[in-house]
Structure 1
């Protein structure tokens, strides 16, 4: 069902991708297998990017777009 997903954006830390890729079912999603996962640490300002506020958008936009570009290049 997720074979057309190019990038996955979720909350998590540095170990999330390893956990997703280690799961035999979830790793069948092409974005996960390719490592095209953006894990936003909810304890950092960038973690607000998935649920932005008008004041936060200018602060995190460049970093968020950079993470999306890195993930898209892997997909």
Structure 2
């Protein structure tokens, strides 16, 4: 049972990484300078924080993917 729980927790982390890469278009970076890599990682962290805060404010449980779509829709309407 412990293996199942550990795998489930790891799977949730892997899914978060997948969503960051796929839905936020933050895949492989092609930067060579350390400052560029730091900037890219800061953007990824901020995007993740924005999505997390948005999900906390939703009245019902919202998936990461849906939250990204809703945020994009709201930004597009501005």
Q: Normalising to structure 2: TM-score of the pair?
A: 0.31
Q: Which has the larger radius of gyration?
A: 2
Q: Which has the higher contact order (CA 8 A, sep 6+)?
A: 1
More strand, by proportion: 1
Q: Normalising to structure 1: TM-score of the pair?
A: 0.32
